[in-house]
Amino acid sequence: MALRSTNNEDVMAFHSANNKNAMALQSTYNKDVMALRSANNKDIMASCSTNNKDVMVLHSTNNKHAMALHSTNNKDGMALQSTYKKDVMALRSTNNKDIMALQSTYNKDVMALRSTNNKDIMASCSTNNKHAMALHSTNNKDIMALRSTYNKDVMALRST
């Protein structure tokens, strides 16, 4: 029994020593893991912070570029619109001048034709009036001659 008791004590002592060593190793391992986790967390946080700063710088730069392009596009758009308006106004002015010149020429042509037509009509009227007056005069002479002959015949018949 004494041997067994010694073996039990030795086993218990060995077991206790193994437990202490295991606990010490586990504690060291836990400390190392926690230290690594802490270091990793710090690295990750530093990396995140750097990335955030880089992203913010890029975002700011992109915004500046976008705003500069937007401003340039607006200026170009306004310049094109202004040029277009000037071109349209110049064309309108030219068209108005051309229309006024054509209208003036048309009015002159119409007035010249009216004048020519009036002269032709007046000449035609004058000729017609002369013919009508000549015919009227001839008719009057014929009528007067017929009346005179008729009157002479009537008077001759009455005297008979």
Over residues 48-107, the pLDDT tens digits come to 888 888 888 888 888 898 899 888 889 988 998 999 999 999 999 999 999 999 999 999
CA-based torsion, 14, 18, 19, 24: positive or negative = positive
The Cα angle at residue 27 between residues 25 and 28, in degrees rounded to 5: 65
- For the record, the structure tokens of 147 come out as 């009346």
Chain centroid to CA 5? 105
- Give per-residue pLDDT as tens, 3-29: 566 677 777 888 888 888 888 888 888
| 2 — pLDDT class (breaks 50, 70, 90) | low
* pLDDT attached to residue 14: 80
Tokens 């008791």 belong to 5
Higher-confidence position of 5 and 151: 151
